[in-house]
């Protein structure tokens, strides 16, 4: 067998970095005994999980089987997948097989120097934000009708204290940024930010959304594909 290399569409770096799932296809030059020579046979795409227990596979398959969505997607270890499920039996009442296809990775930088509050600070004092405190959790990538001024990005403060986002910014695919001029999120608060027409914009093709702090450090990056840009629907990361 000649290995032809990894091909992950536009996700090659992410695919190579993913140790959990293998999705593959192969070609076989089979001997044609009747006519002489060879016949090329192509095995359609399939896949398997690496290191997953049988119990984990059964659980994942059952969840996919009972998932009512037409497109079944999931996130495992910061990697996003589409679940390709094949049913069998009378009335498709059982599982034939399933496999996962990588659609992107969620990058969450980790910083170990979490700032600490002084004991004399008030409980509701706003403290500097570490990279693990703020997440991009959703986006309205493709609003119905004209997208101008209607695209939104939702952030959440996962920490136990208020966080000051003054000077932070969001960027999309057009090279511009949307600055969070004076935003404070309480502990556990999620807030949706609308992107003005002259600021960061979200393309309806595969792209990234980046959150940076006031010092231009990358705090969180999420990726989405063209399939995620469904008109009028918010994408959850």
Q: Domain residue spans in the chain?
A: 12-105, 134-236
Q: Which residues of the chain have pLDDT under 70?
A: 107-132, 182
Residue 209 phi/psi, 5-degree rounding, is -120, 130
Share of the chain above pLDDT 90, in %: 24
Pair 136, 220: CB distance under 8 Å: yes
pLDDT tens for residues 82-123? 999 999 999 999 999 999 988 887 755 545 455 544 544 444
Q: Please list, in sequence order, all residues whose beta carbon lies within 8 angstroms of the beta carbon of residue 48, skipping any fewer than 6 positions away.
A: 21, 22, 99
The third-level CATH classification (topology) of the domain covering 134-236 is Immunoglobulin-like (2.60.40)
Per-residue model confidence (pLDDT) at position 126: 44
For CA atoms 108, 192, 201, 130, the dihedral sign is: negative
pLDDT tens for residues 65-75? 999 888 899 88
Q: How far is CA 66 from the centre of its chain?
A: 22
Per-residue model confidence (pLDDT) at position 108: 56
Per-residue model confidence (pLDDT) at position 19: 83
């Amino acid at each position: 067998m000649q290995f032809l290399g990894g091909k992950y569409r536009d996700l090659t770096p992410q695919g190579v970095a993913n140790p959990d799932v293998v999705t593959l296809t192969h070609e076989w030059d089979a001997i044609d005994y009747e006519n002489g020579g060879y016949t090329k046979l192509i095995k359609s795409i399939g896949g398997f999980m690496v290191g997953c227990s049988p119990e984990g596979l059964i659980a994942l398959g059952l969840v996919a089987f009972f998932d009512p969505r037409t497109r079944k997607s999931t996130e495992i270890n910061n990697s996003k997948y589409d679940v390709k499920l094949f049913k069998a039996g009378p009335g498709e009442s059982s599982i034939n097989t399933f496999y996962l296809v990588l659609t992107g990775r969620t990058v969450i930088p980790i910083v170990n120097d979490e700032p600490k509050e002084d004991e004399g600070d008030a409980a509701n004092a706003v403290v500097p934000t570490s990279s693990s405190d703020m997440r991009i959790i959703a986006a309205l990538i493709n609003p119905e009708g004209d997208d101008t001024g209607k695209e939104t990005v939702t952030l959440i403060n996962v920490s136990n204290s208020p966080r000051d986002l003054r000077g932070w910014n969001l960027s999309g695919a057009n090279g511009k940024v949307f600055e969070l001029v004076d935003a404070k999120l309480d502990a556990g608060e999620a807030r949706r930010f609308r992107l003005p027409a002259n600021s960061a914009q979200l393309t309806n093709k595969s792209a990234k959304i980046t959150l940076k702090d006031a010092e231009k450090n990358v705090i969180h990056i999420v990726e989405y594909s063209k399939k995620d840009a469904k008109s009028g629907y918010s994408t959850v990361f």
